[in-house]
Amino acid sequence: MSMDSDELRRVILFQLNRNVVVFYKKYLSILEDISKDHQIMKDRIGTHLPEEFLDNIDYLNKEKYNYIRKKILDGGNEIYRELESSLNLLNFNIKEK
């Protein structure tokens, strides 16, 4: 199979993007685990404390969860853009055997 430089660049970018997506999906999964653990703890102590107190100590509320989620996604997108930018600085020469 013969590829030109642009085709090779597209294949490399596709593979890089796939790996970046897998990486930040793992972080999103970790965030989901932390969120579930946080909710379990709130439920446990919620039976013994006033609702207002629970609201005050809720460090991982919906807004904070969404903020962290957005930061993870933004970070993954930034990594991909940087990789793409760096890759565009390279010239590929494909040698046939």
Mean pLDDT of the chain: 89
Structure-token pair, residue 27: 């972080």
- Residue whose pair of structure tokens reads 């596709």 in the numeric block: 14
Q: What percent of the chain has pLDDT over 70?
A: 94
| pLDDT tens, residue by residue, 25-47 | 999 999 999 999 999 998 988 88
3-state secondary structure of 95: coil
Q: How far is CA 33 from CA 1, 2, 17, 57, 79, in A?
A: 44, 45, 24, 19, 24
